[in-house]
Amino acid sequence: MAVVIEALAKHHDRAGFTCGQPDLDDWFRRRAGQDERRNVARVFVAVDDDLGVVGFYSLGAFTLALGALPDDVARKLPRYDAIPAALIGRLARDERARGRGIGDLLLADAILRILGAGRTLAVFAIVVDAKEERAARFYGAFGFRAFPGRLERMFLLTSTAAAGLERL
């Protein structure tokens, strides 16, 4: 299975995509293109030569309130009202590609793009929303931590992500 990750375009057939989460499927089929055109999100798709679109993720700018961060992180930061972050708003892989590492590939690509943008635009952390326990375990395996009081929202410091890449 040869997979390429590229920006969402009109020629990508989204109609048959299903990840098992109706909200994610609906957003991808009906609103991903609109969000892209409105500059609300950048959407990237994983495309397999035989299966077509087998996954996607979206990226957007985000800010964190200093008080939302755990104390061990917040105490090291200046007392600004907003801390710059990047949001991986949605990430899903098609059920047809289950067990093939597509989710890992999508997350790695998203993190690499965010770190690349971080050379031009300040990005302190990467934020995700884990809609279910399985998603939280997935992100946790990559070092994402839950925000205090918001277990579904998780973050990874870009410094941690960059250090992890240097070890590879």
Q: Which residues are marked as active site?
A: 139
* Token representation of residue 72: 């061990």
**Number of Cβ atoms within 10 Å of the Cβ of 68:** 17
CA dihedral of residues 73, 43, 120, 123 (deg, nearest 10): -10
How far apart are alpha carbons 60 and 142 in whole angstroms?
20
DSSP 8-state code for residue 31: I
Helical spans, DSSP H, in the chain: 22-26, 32-37, 71-74, 102-117, 133-140, 158-166
**Number of Cβ atoms within 10 Å of the Cβ of 79:** 6
